[in-house]
Structure 1
Amino acid sequence: MSINRFIKKPIKLLKIFLLVIITQVVFANTSLSKDWWNNDIDSPYLIGEGVLKVFIWEVYVLRLFSGNPTFDPSKPIVLEFEYLRDTTKKSVITASIKELRKMNTSKDKLLIWEEYLQNAISDMNKGEKAALYWQPGKQITFYVEGGSKELIKDKEFADAYINIWIGKNTTKPDLRKIITGQH
Protein backbone atom coordinates (compact mmCIF):
# COMPACT_ATOMS: atom_id res chain seq x y z
CA MET A 1 0.00 0.00 0.00
CA SER A 2 1.28 3.36 -0.91
CA ILE A 3 1.11 6.45 1.25
CA ASN A 4 -0.73 8.30 -1.55
CA ARG A 5 -3.73 6.03 -1.09
CA PHE A 6 -4.03 6.99 2.57
CA ILE A 7 -3.83 10.69 1.70
CA LYS A 8 -6.23 10.60 -1.26
CA LYS A 9 -9.04 8.80 0.58
CA PRO A 10 -9.37 11.39 3.41
CA ILE A 11 -9.22 14.23 0.87
CA LYS A 12 -11.99 12.60 -1.16
CA LEU A 13 -14.10 12.14 2.00
CA LEU A 14 -13.48 15.77 2.97
CA LYS A 15 -14.66 16.95 -0.47
CA ILE A 16 -17.86 14.91 -0.17
CA PHE A 17 -18.45 16.21 3.36
CA LEU A 18 -18.00 19.84 2.25
CA LEU A 19 -20.33 19.33 -0.71
CA VAL A 20 -23.03 17.95 1.62
CA ILE A 21 -22.59 20.89 4.04
CA ILE A 22 -22.74 23.49 1.24
CA THR A 23 -25.85 21.82 -0.22
CA GLN A 24 -27.54 21.86 3.20
CA VAL A 25 -26.83 25.57 3.67
CA VAL A 26 -28.14 26.51 0.21
CA PHE A 27 -31.34 24.48 0.52
CA ALA A 28 -31.94 25.53 4.13
CA ASN A 29 -31.94 29.19 3.06
CA THR A 30 -34.39 28.53 0.23
CA SER A 31 -36.91 26.72 2.40
CA LEU A 32 -36.65 29.23 5.25
CA SER A 33 -37.46 32.09 2.91
CA LYS A 34 -40.58 30.28 1.74
CA ASP A 35 -41.92 28.96 5.05
CA TRP A 36 -42.72 32.09 6.96
CA TRP A 37 -44.81 33.83 4.31
CA ASN A 38 -47.28 31.02 4.51
CA ASN A 39 -46.36 29.04 1.39
CA ASP A 40 -48.43 31.32 -0.85
CA ILE A 41 -46.38 30.22 -3.85
CA ASP A 42 -45.95 26.43 -4.03
CA SER A 43 -42.54 26.25 -5.70
CA PRO A 44 -41.07 29.74 -5.52
CA TYR A 45 -38.30 30.90 -7.79
CA LEU A 46 -36.08 33.74 -6.62
CA ILE A 47 -36.30 36.10 -9.61
CA GLY A 48 -34.05 38.84 -8.28
CA GLU A 49 -32.56 40.45 -5.21
CA GLY A 50 -31.44 44.03 -4.65
CA VAL A 51 -30.82 46.58 -1.91
CA LEU A 52 -32.86 49.75 -1.41
CA LYS A 53 -30.57 52.65 -0.59
CA VAL A 54 -31.79 56.03 0.61
CA PHE A 55 -28.96 58.54 0.31
CA ILE A 56 -26.03 56.64 1.87
CA TRP A 57 -28.11 54.23 3.99
CA GLU A 58 -28.99 50.70 2.98
CA VAL A 59 -32.56 50.19 4.23
CA TYR A 60 -33.48 46.65 3.17
CA VAL A 61 -32.70 43.75 0.89
CA LEU A 62 -35.64 43.18 -1.46
CA ARG A 63 -36.27 39.73 -2.96
CA LEU A 64 -38.89 38.93 -5.59
CA PHE A 65 -40.27 35.38 -5.68
CA SER A 66 -42.62 33.93 -8.29
CA GLY A 67 -44.15 30.58 -9.17
CA ASN A 68 -42.59 31.03 -12.62
CA PRO A 69 -38.86 31.02 -13.41
CA THR A 70 -39.19 34.50 -14.96
CA PHE A 71 -41.05 37.59 -13.81
CA ASP A 72 -44.57 37.90 -15.22
CA PRO A 73 -46.53 40.95 -13.92
CA SER A 74 -49.82 39.12 -14.52
CA LYS A 75 -48.92 36.35 -12.04
CA PRO A 76 -48.82 36.41 -8.21
CA ILE A 77 -45.52 37.32 -6.56
CA VAL A 78 -44.01 37.68 -3.13
CA LEU A 79 -41.76 40.62 -2.30
CA GLU A 80 -39.64 39.86 0.75
CA PHE A 81 -38.01 42.70 2.70
CA GLU A 82 -35.05 41.96 4.97
CA TYR A 83 -34.35 45.08 7.00
CA LEU A 84 -30.73 46.21 7.29
CA ARG A 85 -31.51 48.88 9.88
CA ASP A 86 -34.20 49.69 12.42
CA THR A 87 -37.13 51.27 10.59
CA THR A 88 -40.22 52.83 12.13
CA LYS A 89 -43.77 52.15 11.06
CA LYS A 90 -44.25 55.89 10.62
CA SER A 91 -41.31 56.23 8.21
CA VAL A 92 -42.53 53.31 6.08
CA ILE A 93 -46.06 54.73 5.89
CA THR A 94 -44.79 58.25 5.10
CA ALA A 95 -42.55 56.94 2.30
CA SER A 96 -45.36 54.73 0.95
CA ILE A 97 -47.88 57.58 0.85
CA LYS A 98 -45.29 59.81 -0.84
CA GLU A 99 -44.82 57.18 -3.57
CA LEU A 100 -48.58 56.60 -3.97
CA ARG A 101 -49.12 60.37 -4.27
CA LYS A 102 -46.69 60.41 -7.23
CA MET A 103 -49.12 58.05 -9.00
CA ASN A 104 -51.75 60.82 -9.03
CA THR A 105 -53.87 59.10 -6.39
CA SER A 106 -56.74 61.24 -5.08
CA LYS A 107 -56.58 62.66 -1.54
CA ASP A 108 -59.66 60.65 -0.54
CA LYS A 109 -58.07 57.39 -1.66
CA LEU A 110 -54.80 58.27 0.04
CA LEU A 111 -56.65 58.69 3.35
CA ILE A 112 -58.25 55.25 2.98
CA TRP A 113 -54.99 53.68 1.86
CA GLU A 114 -53.10 55.25 4.76
CA GLU A 115 -55.55 53.53 7.11
CA TYR A 116 -54.79 50.20 5.41
CA LEU A 117 -51.09 50.81 5.95
CA GLN A 118 -51.63 51.74 9.62
CA ASN A 119 -53.16 48.29 10.14
CA ALA A 120 -50.66 46.37 8.00
CA ILE A 121 -47.22 47.82 8.75
CA SER A 122 -45.10 47.39 11.88
CA ASP A 123 -41.90 48.85 13.27
CA MET A 124 -39.05 46.71 11.96
CA ASN A 125 -35.71 45.97 13.60
CA LYS A 126 -32.46 45.25 11.82
CA GLY A 127 -32.52 41.62 10.62
CA GLU A 128 -36.32 41.25 10.66
CA LYS A 129 -38.31 40.35 7.56
CA ALA A 130 -41.63 41.41 6.10
CA ALA A 131 -43.31 40.35 2.87
CA LEU A 132 -46.04 41.28 0.43
CA TYR A 133 -48.00 38.56 -1.38
CA TRP A 134 -49.64 40.22 -4.38
CA GLN A 135 -52.38 38.70 -6.51
CA PRO A 136 -52.70 40.97 -9.57
CA GLY A 137 -56.05 42.69 -9.90
CA LYS A 138 -57.28 41.10 -6.65
CA GLN A 139 -55.58 41.71 -3.32
CA ILE A 140 -52.38 42.02 -1.32
CA THR A 141 -51.34 40.35 1.93
CA PHE A 142 -48.82 41.92 4.31
CA TYR A 143 -46.71 39.59 6.46
CA VAL A 144 -44.26 40.18 9.28
CA GLU A 145 -41.97 37.24 10.01
CA GLY A 146 -43.08 35.46 13.15
CA GLY A 147 -46.04 37.75 13.57
CA SER A 148 -48.93 39.48 11.92
CA LYS A 149 -50.72 39.01 8.63
CA GLU A 150 -53.05 41.59 7.04
CA LEU A 151 -55.12 40.85 3.92
CA ILE A 152 -56.36 43.86 1.93
CA LYS A 153 -58.96 43.04 -0.71
CA ASP A 154 -58.88 46.41 -2.46
CA LYS A 155 -57.55 45.58 -5.93
CA GLU A 156 -56.78 49.20 -6.83
CA PHE A 157 -54.71 49.64 -3.67
CA ALA A 158 -53.01 46.25 -4.14
CA ASP A 159 -51.92 47.04 -7.69
CA ALA A 160 -50.83 50.60 -6.85
CA TYR A 161 -48.89 49.56 -3.75
CA ILE A 162 -46.92 46.79 -5.43
CA ASN A 163 -46.11 49.16 -8.30
CA ILE A 164 -44.00 51.21 -5.91
CA TRP A 165 -41.38 48.51 -6.57
CA ILE A 166 -42.33 46.70 -9.80
CA GLY A 167 -44.24 49.34 -11.78
CA LYS A 168 -42.78 50.71 -14.99
CA ASN A 169 -42.92 54.23 -13.48
CA THR A 170 -41.24 53.35 -10.18
CA THR A 171 -38.92 55.96 -8.71
CA LYS A 172 -36.31 53.18 -8.29
CA PRO A 173 -35.96 51.83 -11.87
CA ASP A 174 -32.53 50.26 -11.29
CA LEU A 175 -33.83 48.29 -8.30
CA ARG A 176 -36.86 47.24 -10.36
CA LYS A 177 -34.61 45.89 -13.12
CA ILE A 178 -32.58 43.88 -10.64
CA ILE A 179 -35.48 42.32 -8.72
CA THR A 180 -37.50 41.52 -11.86
CA GLY A 181 -34.50 39.82 -13.47
CA GLN A 182 -34.09 42.39 -16.26
CA HIS A 183 -30.57 43.54 -15.38
Structure 2
Amino acid sequence: MALIGVSPALAANYINRLVPNAQKVGTARMQYMLWDIYDAALYAPDGKWSSNRPYALQLTYLKNLNGEKIADRSIQEMRGQGFHDDNRLAVWHEQMKAIFPDVQEGDILIGIYTQEAETVFFDAEKEIGRIIDPEFGKRFFGIWLNEATSEPDIRMGLLGNKYNNDNGKAQYDVQNYENTIGYRSARRND
Protein backbone atom coordinates (compact mmCIF):
# COMPACT_ATOMS: atom_id res chain seq x y z
CA MET A 1 0.00 0.00 0.00
CA ALA A 2 2.93 2.33 -0.48
CA LEU A 3 2.33 5.47 -2.45
CA ILE A 4 5.91 5.99 -3.51
CA GLY A 5 6.52 9.57 -4.55
CA VAL A 6 2.80 10.23 -4.67
CA SER A 7 1.63 13.81 -4.50
CA PRO A 8 -0.75 14.93 -1.75
CA ALA A 9 -3.33 15.62 -4.48
CA LEU A 10 -3.20 12.01 -5.70
CA ALA A 11 -3.52 10.71 -2.14
CA ALA A 12 -6.54 12.97 -1.67
CA ASN A 13 -8.11 11.46 -4.81
CA TYR A 14 -8.02 7.98 -3.28
CA ILE A 15 -9.56 9.26 -0.08
CA ASN A 16 -12.23 11.41 -1.73
CA ARG A 17 -13.28 8.56 -4.00
CA LEU A 18 -14.38 6.37 -1.06
CA VAL A 19 -14.97 8.86 1.77
CA PRO A 20 -17.68 11.41 0.87
CA ASN A 21 -16.75 15.03 1.65
CA ALA A 22 -13.54 13.83 3.33
CA GLN A 23 -11.96 16.34 5.66
CA LYS A 24 -9.07 15.92 8.07
CA VAL A 25 -10.16 15.00 11.59
CA GLY A 26 -6.74 15.06 13.23
CA THR A 27 -3.08 14.12 13.02
CA ALA A 28 -0.49 12.44 15.20
CA ARG A 29 3.14 11.31 15.04
CA MET A 30 4.15 7.80 16.03
CA GLN A 31 7.46 7.71 17.83
CA TYR A 32 9.32 4.76 19.29
CA MET A 33 12.03 5.68 21.74
CA LEU A 34 14.13 8.24 19.82
CA TRP A 35 12.81 7.39 16.34
CA ASP A 36 10.01 9.06 14.43
CA ILE A 37 8.16 6.19 12.71
CA TYR A 38 5.29 7.85 10.80
CA ASP A 39 2.89 10.76 10.69
CA ALA A 40 -0.76 9.73 10.68
CA ALA A 41 -3.80 11.64 9.45
CA LEU A 42 -7.44 10.61 9.82
CA TYR A 43 -10.05 11.73 7.27
CA ALA A 44 -13.81 11.38 7.64
CA PRO A 45 -16.98 12.88 6.13
CA ASP A 46 -17.18 16.56 7.15
CA GLY A 47 -14.21 15.96 9.48
CA LYS A 48 -16.37 14.00 11.94
CA TRP A 49 -15.20 10.45 12.59
CA SER A 50 -17.59 7.62 13.39
CA SER A 51 -16.64 3.95 13.33
CA ASN A 52 -19.85 3.25 11.38
CA ARG A 53 -19.12 5.62 8.46
CA PRO A 54 -16.35 5.57 5.83
CA TYR A 55 -12.99 7.00 6.85
CA ALA A 56 -9.37 6.92 5.75
CA LEU A 57 -6.10 6.63 7.60
CA GLN A 58 -3.03 7.99 5.84
CA LEU A 59 0.43 7.12 7.15
CA THR A 60 3.48 9.00 5.91
CA TYR A 61 6.51 6.93 6.87
CA LEU A 62 9.53 8.64 8.36
CA LYS A 63 11.58 5.44 8.57
CA ASN A 64 12.20 2.44 6.31
CA LEU A 65 10.21 -0.62 7.43
CA ASN A 66 9.68 -4.17 6.20
CA GLY A 67 6.11 -4.90 5.03
CA GLU A 68 6.00 -8.28 6.73
CA LYS A 69 7.03 -6.69 10.02
CA ILE A 70 4.22 -4.15 9.62
CA ALA A 71 1.80 -7.08 9.26
CA ASP A 72 3.36 -8.80 12.30
CA ARG A 73 3.01 -5.66 14.41
CA SER A 74 -0.59 -5.19 13.26
CA ILE A 75 -1.51 -8.68 14.50
CA GLN A 76 0.31 -8.04 17.79
CA GLU A 77 -1.68 -4.83 18.29
CA MET A 78 -5.00 -6.56 17.51
CA ARG A 79 -4.18 -9.24 20.10
CA GLY A 80 -3.23 -6.52 22.59
CA GLN A 81 -6.74 -5.11 22.32
CA GLY A 82 -8.23 -8.44 23.34
CA PHE A 83 -8.99 -10.04 19.96
CA HIS A 84 -7.88 -13.67 20.08
CA ASP A 85 -9.63 -15.47 17.20
CA ASP A 86 -6.50 -17.31 16.07
CA ASN A 87 -8.03 -18.56 12.82
CA ARG A 88 -9.08 -15.08 11.70
CA LEU A 89 -5.80 -13.54 12.83
CA ALA A 90 -3.87 -16.12 10.80
CA VAL A 91 -5.92 -15.37 7.67
CA TRP A 92 -5.58 -11.62 8.15
CA HIS A 93 -1.85 -11.95 8.76
CA GLU A 94 -1.37 -13.74 5.44
CA GLN A 95 -3.55 -11.17 3.65
CA MET A 96 -1.61 -8.24 5.12
CA LYS A 97 1.75 -9.85 4.28
CA ALA A 98 0.58 -10.15 0.68
CA ILE A 99 -0.65 -6.54 0.57
CA PHE A 100 1.90 -4.52 2.57
CA PRO A 101 5.12 -3.74 0.68
CA ASP A 102 8.33 -2.64 2.29
CA VAL A 103 8.17 1.10 2.88
CA GLN A 104 10.84 3.74 2.56
CA GLU A 105 11.08 7.11 4.23
CA GLY A 106 8.53 9.39 2.56
CA ASP A 107 6.19 6.63 1.37
CA ILE A 108 2.51 7.24 2.02
CA LEU A 109 0.25 4.35 3.00
CA ILE A 110 -3.51 4.72 2.79
CA GLY A 111 -6.10 2.39 4.21
CA ILE A 112 -9.79 3.18 3.73
CA TYR A 113 -12.74 1.74 5.64
CA THR A 114 -15.59 1.82 3.12
CA GLN A 115 -19.35 2.21 3.37
CA GLU A 116 -19.54 -1.55 2.68
CA ALA A 117 -17.32 -2.23 5.75
CA GLU A 118 -14.42 -3.35 3.56
CA THR A 119 -10.82 -2.22 3.99
CA VAL A 120 -9.12 -1.06 0.80
CA PHE A 121 -5.43 -0.30 0.28
CA PHE A 122 -3.77 1.63 -2.57
CA ASP A 123 -0.36 2.18 -4.11
CA ALA A 124 0.57 5.07 -6.39
CA GLU A 125 -1.25 3.60 -9.39
CA LYS A 126 -4.07 1.34 -8.26
CA GLU A 127 -5.82 -0.57 -5.55
CA ILE A 128 -3.39 -3.22 -4.33
CA GLY A 129 -5.48 -5.00 -1.74
CA ARG A 130 -8.90 -5.39 -0.27
CA ILE A 131 -9.99 -7.29 2.83
CA ILE A 132 -13.74 -7.77 2.85
CA ASP A 133 -14.18 -9.09 6.40
CA PRO A 134 -15.93 -6.25 8.33
CA GLU A 135 -14.30 -7.47 11.55
CA PHE A 136 -10.88 -6.89 10.00
CA GLY A 137 -11.61 -3.20 9.45
CA LYS A 138 -12.80 -2.80 13.01
CA ARG A 139 -9.69 -4.48 14.41
CA PHE A 140 -7.15 -3.03 11.97
CA PHE A 141 -8.21 0.59 12.34
CA GLY A 142 -8.73 -0.07 16.05
CA ILE A 143 -4.93 -0.21 16.30
CA TRP A 144 -5.13 3.59 16.17
CA LEU A 145 -8.75 4.40 17.02
CA ASN A 146 -9.94 1.85 19.60
CA GLU A 147 -10.18 3.01 23.21
CA ALA A 148 -7.92 0.06 24.11
CA THR A 149 -5.13 1.18 21.76
CA SER A 150 -1.56 0.85 23.02
CA GLU A 151 -1.02 4.47 21.88
CA PRO A 152 -3.74 6.64 23.45
CA ASP A 153 -1.92 9.86 22.51
CA ILE A 154 -2.03 8.84 18.85
CA ARG A 155 -5.77 8.17 19.18
CA MET A 156 -6.36 11.53 20.81
CA GLY A 157 -4.40 13.34 18.10
CA LEU A 158 -6.19 11.55 15.28
CA LEU A 159 -9.57 12.28 16.79
CA GLY A 160 -8.64 15.96 16.96
CA ASN A 161 -8.67 16.23 20.74
CA LYS A 162 -5.00 16.98 21.40
CA TYR A 163 -3.58 20.45 21.47
CA ASN A 164 -0.47 22.13 22.84
CA ASN A 165 -0.41 24.68 25.63
CA ASP A 166 1.79 27.78 25.59
CA ASN A 167 4.78 25.73 26.81
CA GLY A 168 4.40 23.18 24.01
CA LYS A 169 3.38 20.43 26.45
CA ALA A 170 0.61 18.16 25.20
CA GLN A 171 -2.73 18.79 26.85
CA TYR A 172 -6.09 17.20 26.27
CA ASP A 173 -9.47 18.70 25.56
CA VAL A 174 -11.21 16.39 28.03
CA GLN A 175 -14.75 17.64 27.40
CA ASN A 176 -14.43 17.16 23.64
CA TYR A 177 -12.82 13.74 24.20
CA GLU A 178 -15.66 12.68 26.49
CA ASN A 179 -18.19 13.72 23.87
CA THR A 180 -16.33 11.78 21.18
CA ILE A 181 -16.15 8.49 23.08
CA GLY A 182 -19.38 8.84 25.04
CA TYR A 183 -18.21 8.54 28.62
CA ARG A 184 -16.47 10.52 31.32
CA SER A 185 -12.77 9.96 31.74
CA ALA A 186 -10.31 11.03 34.38
CA ARG A 187 -8.52 14.29 33.62
CA ARG A 188 -4.83 13.82 32.88
CA ASN A 189 -2.49 15.99 34.93
CA ASP A 190 0.81 15.37 33.11
Q: TM-score range by the shorter chain?
A: 0.7 to 0.9
Partners of 1:137 and 1:182 in 2: CA distance:
28
Greater fraction of residues in helix: 1
Distance 2:106 2:73 in 1: 20
TM-score by length of 1: 0.77
> Does residue 58 of structure 2 align to residue 80 of structure 1?
yes
Match of 1:158 in 2: 137
**1: CA distance between counterparts of 2:124 and 2:28?**
19
Q: Counterpart of 2:149?
A: 170
Deviation at 1:106, TM superposition (A): 2.1
- Structure 1 residue 94, shift from structure 2 partner: 1.6
State which structure, 1 or 2, has the greater radius of gyration over its C-alpha atoms.
Answer: 1
Q: Which residue of 2 aligns with 1:20?
A: none
**Of 40, 64, 78, the match for 1:62:** 40
Unaligned runs of 5+ in 1: 1-28
Letter in 1 for 2:124: E
State whether structure 2 residue 109 is matched by structure 1 residue 109.
Answer: no
1:155: Cα distance to partner? 0.8
Label 1:100 to 1:112 Cα distance change in 2 as closer, same or farther (>3 A).
Answer: same
8 Å CA contact 2:27, 2:41 repeated in 1: yes
Partner residue in 1 for 2:3: none
Contact 2:61/2:103 (8 A) holds in 1:
yes
Seq. identity, %: 20
Unaligned runs of 5+ in 2: 1-6, 163-190
TM-score (norm 2): 0.74
Distance 1:137 1:156 in 2: 12
